[in-house]
Amino acid sequence: MTTTLNRPSSTVSETLTVGARPRRRFTWATSRPWILLTPALIILGVLLLWPLVRVFLFSLQDYGLREIVSGKTNFIGLDNYVEIFTNPTLWTVVLPNTVGFAVLSVIGTVGLGTGVALLMASLGNFWRTVVGSSIMIAWAMPAVTGTYVWTWIFDADNGIVNQTLMGLGLMDEPFNWFTNQWTFYGIVLINIIHHGFPFVAITVLAGLLGVSKEMLEAAQMDGAGAIRRFFQIIVPTLKSVFAVVIILSTIWDFKVFAQVYLMPGGSGTNRSVLNLGVWSYVESFGQNRYGFGSALAVLLTLALLAITIVYVRTMLKEDKL
C-alpha cells in the first residue's frame, strides 16, 4: 500500500524558487537614497548636462556674431565635424601636439614623481616631512603663476637661461625659445612636470609605505639589485596605484590649456603650437566661429570621457580586490 504525502503549497513554491533571484520590491527603504539624491542630481543636470547639450547643439550650427545678434539658428548638420576631420591642421599640428605632449608629460611626471617617492621612502620621518612639504609648494602654485614664472626664466631679452648661456659663451646672441615648436613645448613640458610630479610622488609614497619590507629585504639578501627589486616587487605590488596616477595624469595633460595659451605665441599667433583645447578657444573667441569651436570642444570632451571611463573601471576593479 502506497501512502501519498501532500506537501503544503507554500513549501512547493519555496522549492521551485530555490536558486531563483529574488525580486526587489519598490519600498521606502530602497527608494529613499534616490529621493535624497534627487535635488543634487537635478542641480548637476542643470549645471553640467544642459551646457553640454547646448555645446553639442551649437556644434551643429554655423553660429557666429550674426546669429548671436539676430537670435536665429542656422543648422548645418555635421558640416563642422566634416571640416575638422578634413582640415590638415588637425592631423599635422593639433593632434601631434596634443597626443605627443600628453605622452611625454605623463612619462615625465610619473617618472619624476616615482623617483622622488622612492627617495622620500628611504628618508627618516623628519626629512621626509621636509621634502614632502617642499615639493607641495609646486603643487600649490597656480597654473597661471607657474606659466608666467617659466616664461620669465626663458625670456628672450632678460631671461635667466639666455643670460647664463651667453655668459658661459655658449650663445652669441639671445634666442627666442617660444618661436620654435619644439622648444616651445619643451618649456611647457617642464612647466607641467614641475607642477604635476608632487601629486604622483605623494600618491606613490603612500603605496610604497605599504610594501612588505620583509619581502624587499629577502630579495636583497638573494642578490636582487635596486632596479630588479623595483620592477619585480614594487611595480607589481603598486600596479593599481600606478594605473590611477597614469590615467589621471593623462586626463590632465590631454586637456592642457592655460600653460599653452599664456605662453608667447600660444594664443594663436603661432599656429604651429596649437593643441586641441587652444584651437577650440581660438576658433570660438578669436575667429567668432562658435559652432566650429563647439565641435572641437565636443571632440575633446569625448576623448576625455573615454579616458575617464578607463579610470572609473580601474577604480572599480581596485575596490573589488
Burial of 35 (0-12, 13-18, 19+ CB in 10 A): exposed
Answer yes or no: is 254 within a domain: yes
Section 307-313 average pLDDT: 81
Answer yes or no: is 19 within a domain: no
pLDDT tier, 24 (very low <50, low <70, confident <90, very high otherwise)? low
Cα 201 to Cα 135: distance, rounded to the nearest angstrom? 9
Range of the domain at 225: 86-320
Answer yes or no: is 212 within a domain: yes
Answer yes or no: is 41 within a domain: no
Cα 154 to Cα 176: distance, rounded to the nearest angstrom? 8
* 151 phi/psi in degrees, rounded to 5: -65, -40
Q: Of all residues in the chain, what percent carry a pLDDT higher than 70?
A: 90
Section 202-226 average pLDDT: 82
Asked if residues 286 and 280 have their Cβ atoms less than 8 Å apart, the reply is no
Answer yes or no: is 57 within a domain: no
Average pLDDT for the chain: 84
Residues 230-259 have pLDDT tens digits of: 888 888 888 888 888 998 899 899 889 999
Cα 68 to Cα 316: distance, rounded to the nearest angstrom? 44
Asked if residues 290 and 58 have their Cβ atoms less than 8 Å apart, the reply is yes
CA 130 from centre of chain: 28
Section 211-226 average pLDDT: 79
Q: How many other CB atoms sit within 10 Å of the CB of residue 229?
A: 18
CA 319 from centre of chain: 21
In sequence order, the 6+-apart residues with CB closer than 8 A to the CB of 312 are none
Q: Is the pLDDT of residue 136 over 60?
A: yes
Cα 60 to Cα 294: distance, rounded to the nearest angstrom? 9
Which cell goes with 1? 500500500
Considering its fold, how many domains does the chain have in total?
1
Cα 247 to Cα 259: distance, rounded to the nearest angstrom? 20
Residues 137-191 have pLDDT tens digits of: 888 888 899 999 999 999 988 889 999 988 888 888 888 999 999 999 999 999 9
pLDDT tier, 319 (very low <50, low <70, confident <90, very high otherwise)? low
In sequence order, the 6+-apart residues with CB closer than 8 A to the CB of 114 are 200, 201, 204
In sequence order, the 6+-apart residues with CB closer than 8 A to the CB of 28 are none
Of the candidate ranges 232-241, 284-293, 306-315, the one whose mean pLDDT is the lowest: 306-315
Which CATH number does the domain housing residue 270 bear? Answer: 1.10.3720.10
For residue 234, what pLDDT is reported?
84
Answer yes or no: is 200 within a domain: yes
For residue 173, what pLDDT is reported?
86
Residues 56-112 have pLDDT tens digits of: 998 998 888 887 888 788 888 899 999 999 999 999 999 999 999 999 999 999 999
How many CA atoms are closer than 13 Å to the CA of 225, on its beta-carbon side?
Answer: 1
Answer yes or no: is 167 within a domain: yes
Answer yes or no: is 214 within a domain: yes
